[in-house]
Structure 1
Amino acid sequence: MPGQYSQIFIDFRGIRDAVMREAGFDYFENSRRETYANRAYCVANPMGWQAYSGRLWGLAACDGPGNFRLPYGSETRQFYGYSARGPVGEPDGRDDGTLTPSAALGSLPFAPEIVIPVAEEMRKWPGLYDRYGFRDAFNPSFKYDVHKLETGSVDPQSGWVATDYIGIDQGPILLQAANHRNDFVWRYTRRVPAIRLGLKRAGFTGGWLG
């Protein structure tokens, strides 16, 4: 979910550029809707992957088990290693059953009512959470005994889990949790003159820029 990264540092609530003024809402609301759309796609689960639900969702670029074509149900499915992931039919529409904690948990400030249940569920998923936080990704449907995984390991009951903890994914989880709690990052960057000037020059008005 690329909409997370700028909003880790910039509080877009109530400020709008020309695009958002025409749309009638701000980029924070845009990301809130994107968060709900990500969840809705996983709940609909058109590919029929295991474990997708309203409490277990999150598609974004992440690690994967590797590039394999393997039988799944009555057909052959393509799995990927590290790749962009998203709803089937979209430009990055690679949905191979792999979920990443950062997609949901990095969206905490936008929609805590649907993200907190995901954090609780993923915290319990076997092998996904350890001393350094959440591993990068997991795939409950990938239970194959294959050689040369790109990363991670496979459990015959719970599926594949990545080995890596990746900073670019851990960062959004931690910093957005801090923003949700008390505007930890946002309250400082709102006071930075260069950020305020840059936003105004980009055409943003309203809210805390007023």
Structure 2
Amino acid sequence: MKRTLLAIPLLAAQLFYGCQTSSETSTSTTDASDSQADTTASADQILSDDELLTLVQKQTFQYFWDGAEPNSGLAPERIHMDGVYPQNDQTVVTTGATGFGLMAIVVGMERGFITREEGVKHLQKMMNFLEKADRFHGAWSHWIQGETGKVKPFGKKDNGGDLVETAFLVQGMLTVREYLKDGNEQEKALVAQIDKLWKEVDWNWYRNGKNVLYWHWSPEYNWEMNFPVTGYNECLIMYVLAASSPTHGVPAEVYHEGWAKNGAIKSDAKAYGRDVVLGHNGHEGTVGPMFWAHYSYLGLDPRGLKDKYADYWKLNQNHTMIQYDYCMDNPKDYEGYGKDMWGLTSSYSPNGYAGHSPKNDLGVIAPTAALSSYPYAKEESLRMMRHMYEDMRDKVWGEYGFYDAFSEEKNWYTQRYLGIDQGPIPVMIENGRTGLLWDLFMSAPEVQAGLKKLGFESPQLKK
């Protein structure tokens, strides 16, 4: 789901979700999921920090395991516990969240939520489906019909390849490849299949002959969506992978001239006394929705990652703490905001769907914002996690972890999930605990070469 709702490339998401009514996204505040009993502590049991982190990871992982679309094994766009869906939407899978789900399955295998054999079997099912699904110069569409593999248009002209969602998917695929590459014969065959699929993505085609990457191409509408992707937003990973491709790669100029705008991406702005570092498209002078610090960094390790434009750890940590400071300041005096309730990102909202940020604060908190920021602000993230689990559990916790969003100000709670919001939670918590996904993705030889081509430095880069 495209989430940069105040930047030009993501207007489609706002138009799609904006058409949903308040009644479609609000639910009872009292119903509790019967199926959560096995993974929910008793009311008087206080979990240790490690126990709580593992519980949240395990419960959220289930979205991509028990909640997977049955035919494809891929991540559903949404799961509504109230059973009310947009028309013909229950079997729609989403490419980006599937990439996050691939990494969540690695977490599940590593932490013993499932066996390695179970994980490999499911991953094989996913790759077999992706191999046969519609592709457009190697790129998958944003939405796919889980029963058939055919594209489901995200919008009228958005019925072809989506390079950003494909990048999120490939990030997960490469992580799985590195996790299984030294495995048994079956695992090595799966690794070879993943390798073939990623090398078939024609990143260079999506330049449209220019030194920038375009978000969409359609066989029916060609380049009419006309979304050249410039920074800064959630799309850094797309440029890194485009530079890394050994088969259809792009030159460094595409990154420097297109994404970085010949250096204009840099920002001198400060917010709450902290450097913003890079200009956030549509959020000048402050920071955008919190997912911008998550999606590209599920695999791309920001620790010590630098180029001539930014220190990416500082960028993401400051993004996190500016949002934390904003919610502490609470200039709109919303109910609930404070040291244990913070984090604004694109999510469900009382009137449909919205790109929440300090510049578009509607009093709605999405748990993924703070929880997926665990590596950047462990104390602040864990404090919110504990508050929601111990003090608000019956309102915000369900079968697949914390629900997508809520508003204490409006007494609005929804028993609905979005795959793109659930995915970063178990992955980024794991990165904060062990660095597992960062280490795997960064070990890919192509990623190493691509980062060097673009002028990055990182402790993860081999000499």
Query: Is the counterpart of residue 84 in structure 1 residue 355 in structure 2?
Result: yes
**Which residue matches 1:153?**
none
Query: Is the counterpart of residue 134 in structure 1 residue 402 in structure 2?
Result: yes
CA distance in 2, matches of 1:39, 1:206: 27
What is the CA deviation profile of residues 141-161 of structure 1, one whole-angstrom value per residue up to 9, with x for unaligned ones? 11xxxxxxxxxxxxxxxx111
Query: Is the counterpart of residue 111 in structure 1 residue 377 in structure 2?
Result: yes
Q: Structure 1 vs Structure 2: percent identity of aligned residues?
A: 34
CA distance in 1, matches of 2:458, 2:362: 42
**Which residue matches 2:453?**
201
Alignment match of 2:436 (pick from 174, 177, 184): 184
Query: Is the counterpart of residue 51 in structure 1 residue 336 in structure 2?
Result: yes
- Asked if the contact 2:396–2:415 (Cα under 8 Å) also holds between the matched residues in 1, the reply is no
**Which residue matches 2:305?**
15
Alignment match of 1:122 (pick from 388, 407, 412): 388
- Asked if the contact 2:443–2:460 (Cα under 8 Å) also holds between the matched residues in 1, the reply is no
Query: Is the counterpart of residue 34 in structure 1 residue 313 in structure 2?
Result: no
Q: If the length of structure 1 is used for normalisation, what is the TM-score?
A: 0.78
**Which residue matches 2:368?**
102
- Asked if the contact 1:49–1:141 (Cα under 8 Å) also holds between the matched residues in 2, the reply is yes
Per mean C-alpha deviation after superposition, the further-off stretch among 98-107 and 178-187 is 178-187
What is the CA deviation profile of residues 109-129 of structure 1, one whole-angstrom value per residue up to 9, with x for unaligned ones? 111021110111122324211
**Which residue matches 2:149?**
none
CA distance in 2, matches of 1:15, 1:139: 35
- Asked if the contact 1:59–1:86 (Cα under 8 Å) also holds between the matched residues in 2, the reply is yes
Aligned residues, how many? 170
**Which residue matches 1:169?**
421
Question: What value does the CA root-mean-square deviation take over the aligned residues?
Answer: 1.2
SS in 1 for 2:294: helix
2:454 maps to amino acid: A
Q: If the length of structure 2 is used for normalisation, what is the TM-score?
A: 0.36
- Asked if the contact 2:346–2:353 (Cα under 8 Å) also holds between the matched residues in 1, the reply is yes
Larger radius of gyration: 2
**Which structure 1 residue ranges, 5 or more long, are not aligned?**
21-25, 67-80, 88-92, 143-158
**Which structure 2 residue ranges, 5 or more long, are not aligned?**
1-289
**Which residue matches 2:294?**
4
CA distance in 1, matches of 2:400, 2:413: 15
- CA shift, 1:30, in A, is 1.3
- CA shift, 1:15, in A, is 2.3
- Cα 1:180–1:95 shift into 2, 3 Å: same
User: Which is richer in helix?
Assistant: 2
Write out the 4+ residue segments of structure 1 that deviate beyond 6 Å after TM superposition.
Answer: none
- CA shift, 1:206, in A, is 3.9
What is the CA deviation profile of residues 75-112 of structure 1, one whole-angstrom value per residue up to 9, with x for unaligned ones? xxxxxx2010111xxxxx22111000011111101110
CA distance in 1, matches of 2:374, 2:441: 19
CA distance in 2, matches of 1:199, 1:110: 22
CA distance in 2, matches of 1:46, 1:204: 38
CA distance in 1, matches of 2:307, 2:325: 28
What is the CA deviation profile of residues 152-210 of structure 1, one whole-angstrom value per residue up to 9, with x for unaligned ones? xxxxxxx1112311111111111001111111201111210111111111210242214
**Higher RCO (C-alpha 8 Å, min separation 6):** 1
2:308 maps to amino acid: A
